[in-house]
Amino acid sequence: QEDDFKKVISHAKEYGYVTQSSEIYDGLSAVYDYTQNGAELKKNIREYWWQAMVQLNENIVGIDAAIFMHPTTWKASGHIDAFNDPLIDNKDSKKRYRADVLIEDYVGKLEGKIEKEVAKAGKRFGAAFDRDQFLSTNPRVLKYQEQATDILKRMGRSLEAEDLADVKALIEELEIACPVSGSRNWTDVKQFNLMFGTRLGATAESSMELFLRPETAQGIFVNFLNVQKSGRMKIPFGIAQVGKAFRNEIVARQFIFRMREFEQMEMQFFIRPGSQKEWYEHWKEARMKWHLSLGMGKELYRFHDHEKLAHYADAASDIEFRFPFGFKELEGIHSRTDFDLSSHENFSGRKLQYFDPELGEHYVPYVVETSIGLDRMFLAVFSNALCEEQLDDGSTRTVLRIPAVLAPVKAAVLPLVKKDGLPELAHEIIGALKWDFMVQYDEKDAIGRRYRRQDAAGTPFCITVDHQTLEDRTVTLRYRDTMEQKRLSIAELKDTIQKEVGF
């Protein structure tokens, strides 16, 4: 598993997707740059989300709020008082961990043991093997599941009660039962605020302490009434936004899964108080459908309903994705009640109420939000796409099966040779296609090697221009996933490709 993840990271760098920030200075931990292909993939995911949320929903509009906000915002949102992570240091290794993530790693070990049992039984029973039945009846599996549930429950209770001594005790017990960190000498658990501070203004007297926003949601809450009025929005309605957020995370080699500067895609849906259960279920289902629409496979996703709730929520569920290092949160769906708007009313002294013409009354709306990390979605798509494939002739190829709608470059145009007018013709084809999607020219190396390079870069189509093209204006179109090739006319290219790469 660890090797698979290392391959993902090195492939991302080698093929122009992601690299460590300021690498020539040895990098900055948990901060990353998206290079040429990565920037395109990220943009395509962002647009795929924006289209599904804003363009296709008449009652959702999009905004772009500032990263800097008035500091009282964070008092009202609870981030100054409650946006903490429990930290623990190991005295032997001098490593710092997030206590809850460390405990989840122990649970991950138990899940690994369950998967081993499944694999063993799968081999034993062959085609007759029923995974679900096995999981719900095998005594060893049931014991592991029970242990995992107990650990998470105990952690939830201790964190909620701020009983940090018990969190430490739990880590000590778990380290003996199933070692993860390899050392046992721990400090006490401390709370650590995740917000980055900075200062606004040049002079010492007039400057003001600010925070870089740790979530995009608050930019939406403070604009709620403004957007409702100027857009003449009627409840239920939503406001969506994509933008950067910053958290001083305690991280351990997780690549772009947990970053200090990252991007969120959030939507806050404003509803009548009392209708939150219904809308919470609605958005859980709608968001899962969005994920499944990419066709990466249903078995990669699962819901995880929370028992321990954040200070603002009355129900919360994660959509988890099977990353190379196990199932982890990709998106959260939260029923936030009127916590944020009411709190902003209190702190700002302004009314943030909606007049409901059907009920004939004013109220502070309730909110159901969907919140997904753009970078985490990128990692889900990218890590799942990378595979080594055994071919019929015994050779292997590396292929990056990014869904065609999200692929950075849709087609590469390849002249068979660098002479006889083929490069010119290839450029002519690029000239005709580039208005509709990203295309790329490549003439270096033998055609087979160019195909392999495009497979590994995730390009769904290769268009090969050869001598026959000069005579009859037909080209070869090669499909990345099946490696199938077909002959068609230049005039047919645009529609054929568009059908596969359009949203």
Selected from 79, 109, 258, 410, the binder of ligand ATP by CB under 6 A is 258
User: Is 131 marked as a binding-site residue?
Assistant: no
Question: Is 135 or 309 the residue whose CB approaches ligand ATP more closely?
Answer: 309
Burial 338-373 (b: 16+ CB within 10 A, else e): bbbbebbbeeeeeebbbeeeeeeeebbbbbbbbbbb
Selected from 99, 235, 239, 372, the binder of ligand ATP by CB under 6 A is 372
Which amino acid does the sequence have at 434? K
Report strand pairing: 18-20 vs 197-200: unpaired
Task: Please state, in angstroms and rounded to a whole number, the distance separating the CA atoms of residues 34 and 273.
Answer: 41
Q: Does 89 bind ligand ATP (CB under 6 A)?
A: no
Number of residues that bind ligand ATP (CB under 6 A): 16
Selected from 249, 340, 442, 466, the binder of ligand ATP by CB under 6 A is 249
| Three-class SS state of 456 | helix
Q: How far is the CB of 390 from ligand ATP (least distance, A)?
A: 34
What's the N-to-C CA distance of the chain in angstroms? 32
In the region spanning residues 162 to 221, those forming contacts with ligand ATP, defined by CB under 6 A, are: 215
User: Is 232 marked as a binding-site residue?
Assistant: no
Q: Does 259 bind ligand ATP (CB under 6 A)?
A: yes
Task: Give one DSSP letter per residue of 142-173, joined into a string.
Answer: HHHHHHHHHHHHHHHHHHHTT-HHHHHHHHHH
Q: Does 247 bind ligand ATP (CB under 6 A)?
A: yes
Q: Does 291 bind ligand ATP (CB under 6 A)?
A: no
Q: How far is the CB of 345 from ligand ATP (least distance, A)?
A: 23
Q: How far is the CB of 319 from ligand ATP (least distance, A)?
A: 8
Selected from 20, 343, 371, 464, the binder of ligand ATP by CB under 6 A is 371
List Cα–Cα distances, 249 to 87, 258, 319, 413, in angstroms. Answer: 10, 7, 21, 43
Closest C-alpha among 331, 401, 408, 339 to residue 371: 331
Q: How far is the CB of 246 from ligand ATP (least distance, A)?
A: 9
Closest C-alpha among 208, 327, 295, 256 to residue 35: 256
Q: Does 320 bind ligand ATP (CB under 6 A)?
A: no
Question: Is 46 or 113 the residue whose CB approaches ligand ATP more closely?
Answer: 46
Q: How far is the CB of 92 from ligand ATP (least distance, A)?
A: 26
Selected from 40, 175, 331, 340, the binder of ligand ATP by CB under 6 A is 331
Task: Please state, in angstroms and rounded to a whole number, the distance separating the CA atoms of residues 216 and 224.
Answer: 13
Selected from 48, 97, 262, 451, the binder of ligand ATP by CB under 6 A is 262
Q: Does 336 bind ligand ATP (CB under 6 A)?
A: no
Q: Does 329 bind ligand ATP (CB under 6 A)?
A: yes
Q: Does 366 bind ligand ATP (CB under 6 A)?
A: no
Q: Does 332 bind ligand ATP (CB under 6 A)?
A: yes
Question: Is 96 or 494 the residue whose CB approaches ligand ATP more closely?
Answer: 96
Angle made by CA atoms 409, 413, 418, in degrees to the nearest 5? 140
Q: How far is the CB of 72 from ligand ATP (least distance, A)?
A: 20
Task: Please state, in angstroms and rounded to a whole number, the distance separating the CA atoms of residues 9 and 23.
Answer: 14
Which residue number places its CB atom closest to ligand ATP? 373
Stretch that binds ligand ATP, among 107-115, 228-236, 283-291, 367-375 (CB under 6 A): 367-375
What are phi and psi for residue 211, nearest 5 degrees?
A: -125, 145
User: Is 263 marked as a binding-site residue?
Assistant: yes
Stretch that binds ligand ATP, among 15-23, 300-308, 329-337, 473-481 (CB under 6 A): 329-337
Q: Does 236 bind ligand ATP (CB under 6 A)?
A: no
What are phi and psi for residue 262, nearest 5 degrees?
A: -150, 180
Angle made by CA atoms 77, 82, 87, in degrees to the nearest 5? 145
Burial of 107 (0-12, 13-18, 19+ CB in 10 A): buried
User: Is 259 marked as a binding-site residue?
Assistant: yes
Burial of 393 (0-12, 13-18, 19+ CB in 10 A): exposed
Stretch that binds ligand ATP, among 62-70, 169-177, 368-376, 463-471 (CB under 6 A): 368-376
Q: What residue has token string 């985490």?
A: 376
Closest C-alpha among 225, 333, 341, 339 to residue 279: 333
Q: How far is the CB of 329 from ligand ATP (least distance, A)?
A: 5
Stretch that binds ligand ATP, among 15-23, 33-41, 355-363, 370-378 (CB under 6 A): 370-378
- Side-chain-side CA neighbours of 348 within 13 Å: the count stands at 18
Q: Does 376 bind ligand ATP (CB under 6 A)?
A: yes
**Spatial contact of 38 and 255, defined as CB atoms under 8 Å apart:** no
Question: Is 236 or 243 the residue whose CB approaches ligand ATP more closely?
Answer: 243
Selected from 105, 175, 375, 455, the binder of ligand ATP by CB under 6 A is 375
Q: How far is the CB of 85 from ligand ATP (least distance, A)?
A: 8
Q: How far is the CB of 256 from ligand ATP (least distance, A)?
A: 7
User: Is 373 marked as a binding-site residue?
Assistant: yes
Closest C-alpha among 370, 132, 87, 101 to residue 254: 101
CB atoms near residue 191 (< 10 Å) = 14
Bind-site residues for substrate: 98, 215, 262-266, 369-373
Residues near ligand ATP, by CB under 6 A? 215, 247, 249, 258-259, 262, 264, 329-332, 371-373, 375-376
